[in-house]
């Protein structure tokens, strides 16, 4: 009898595996399907009661209309993961005097070369930069948002999402530095350089042309946050502990159930306040990717074994 028992127990795993050939697969086909077990509720904290509400600790949600820019979340995170930074929003303006602007309109090669270099350093798509660096006036309308006439010249406002950073000079350094280096080899000279926390500018000159790159703080227009200071979160560092949510005295930060935070580069993991303010519905990456054709979509749906 004992041998029979042993044989039975040796064969049991095989039976258990074979059984599942005939059962419907239980595995969820993530990311083409939602994971059903998760609730959508995120972790929140009530500062008055001093207690949190249960929920998933996923990606943050920033209520910009509540945030006062006090920096409590930053201070807490300094001791945990150093993922949160308080940032201003900046936009970039290229200032030209009238003569420069006229010659720019006439596509004089020197001035187009300079502007090309500066604009392309802000552009995220390399392919478009190559297209634009032809020596004619071929900028796509998406590059320039607005040209305004100011005293003594024109200001070209670039069509960019606000760039969030700690100081204006950081934006200048990180974004324009390479363009300036390239232009220096092309004979351009560095002129006046100014930098404060909220704005920074640099002048470039060649022959009679003078180009000025200006980085200026955006006023977001929130009454409670006159400085327009908001947290940015680097999800390459965040450990999702939620103590920043606890620390916020105004309930401006909360967490959502979104855990799909994968990216192909480290820079994409840095979420700016604008991205954090988006509702999780707008961020949902789950589902069949739209670029697949019909046959591939059918395969995704009906495929049983991965």
Partner 1 sequence: MDLHLGRITWFQGGRDKVAREEVKSLEVYETGPTLTFSMGPQHPGTGHFRMVITVVGDIVVRCDPDPGFVHRGEEKMCEYKTWITNIPHLERPAILDAAGMTYPYVLAVERLMGVEPPERAKYLRVIMAELQRICSHLYWLGLMGVFAGHATMYMWCFGDREYLVDLTQLIGGQRITHSYFVPGGVRNDAPSKVPRELVKNFRTYYRMMLGKDYPSGEVPEDFRKYVLAVCDFFDTRLDEYYPMLLDSPIFIYRTKGIGVLKREDAISLGVVGPVLRGSGVKSDTRIDEPYDAYPYIKFNVPTMDGCDSYSRMMVGYYEMKESVRIIKQAVEQMPEGPVKLKQHPVTIKVPAGEVFASAEAARGQCSFYIRSDGTDKPYRVKICSPSFRNLIAMPYLIKDVRIADIPIIYWSLNYWPVECDR
Instruction: Determine the Cα–Cα distance for residues 98 and 81; give it in Å rounded to an integer.
Output: 49
- In this complex, which beta carbon is closest to partner 1, that of residue 77 or of residue 229? 77
Residue 247 interacting with partner 1 (CB under 8 A): yes
Span of 34-42, 122-130, 181-189, 216-224 interacting with partner 1 by CB under 8 A = 34-42
Residue 18 interacting with partner 1 (CB under 8 A): no
Residue 240 interacting with partner 1 (CB under 8 A): yes
- In this complex, which beta carbon is closest to partner 1, that of residue 16 or of residue 148? 16
Among 239, 285, 292, 298, binds partner 1 (CB under 8 A): 239
| 3-state DSSP assignment of residue 165 | strand
The CA-based angle 288-294-295, given to 5 degrees, is: 100
- In this complex, which beta carbon is closest to partner 1, that of residue 79 or of residue 265? 79
Asked if 55 contacts 44 with a C-beta cutoff of 8 angstroms, the reply is yes
Q: Which of 32, 38, 29 is nearest to 259 (CA)?
A: 38
> How many residues in the shown chain lie near partner 1 by CB under 8 A?
36
Residue 52 interacting with partner 1 (CB under 8 A): yes
- In this complex, which beta carbon is closest to partner 1, that of residue 50 or of residue 221? 50
Asked if 156 contacts 100 with a C-beta cutoff of 8 angstroms, the reply is no
The CA-based angle 153-144-89, given to 5 degrees, is: 90
Among 80, 129, 269, 300, binds partner 1 (CB under 8 A): 80
Q: Which of 289, 226, 233, 249 is nearest to 46 (CA)?
A: 249
Instruction: Determine the Cα–Cα distance for residues 21 and 182; give it in Å rounded to an integer.
Output: 63
Q: Which residues bind partner 1 (CB under 8 A)?
A: 6, 9-10, 12-13, 16-17, 23, 26, 36-39, 43, 45, 47, 50-57, 76, 79-81, 239-243, 246-247, 255
């Amino acid at each position: 009898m004992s041998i029979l028992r042993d044989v039975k127990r040796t064969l049991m795993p095989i039976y258990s595996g074979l059984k599942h050939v005939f059962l419907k697969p239980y595995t969820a086909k993530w990311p083409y399907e939602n994971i059903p077990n998760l609730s959508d509720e995120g972790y929140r904290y009530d500062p008055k009661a001093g207690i949190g509400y249960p929920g998933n600790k996923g990606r943050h949600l920033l209520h910009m209309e509540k945030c006062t820019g006090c920096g409590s979340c930053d201070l807490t995170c300094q001791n945990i993961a150093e993922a949160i930074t308080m940032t201003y929003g900046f936009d970039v303006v290229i200032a030209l005097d009238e003569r420069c602007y006229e010659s720019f309109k006439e596509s004089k090669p020197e001035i187009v070369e300079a502007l090309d270099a500066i604009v392309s350093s802000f552009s995220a798509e390399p392919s478009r930069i190559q297209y634009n660096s032809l020596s004619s006036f071929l900028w796509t309308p998406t590059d320039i948002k607005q040209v305004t006439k100011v005293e003594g010249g024109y200001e070209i406002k670039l069509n960019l999402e606000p760039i969030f950073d700690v100081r204006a000079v950081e934006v200048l350094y990180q974004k324009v530095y390479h363009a300036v280096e390239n232009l220096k080899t092309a004979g351009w000279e560095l002129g006046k350089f100014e930098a404060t926390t909220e704005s920074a500018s640099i002048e470039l000159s060649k022959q009679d042309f003078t180009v000025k790159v200006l980085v200026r703080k955006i006023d977001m227009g929130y009454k409670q946050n006159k400085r327009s200071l908001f947290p940015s979160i680097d999800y390459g560092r965040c450990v999702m502990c939620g103590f920043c949510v606890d620390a916020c005295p105004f309930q401006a930060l909360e967490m959502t159930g979104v855990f799909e935070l994968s990216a192909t580069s480290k820079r994409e993991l840095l979420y700016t306040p604008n991205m954090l303010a988006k509702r999780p519905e707008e961020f949902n990456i789950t589902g069949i990717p739209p670029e697949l054709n019909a046959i591939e979509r059918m395969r995704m749906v009906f495929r049983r074994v991965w």
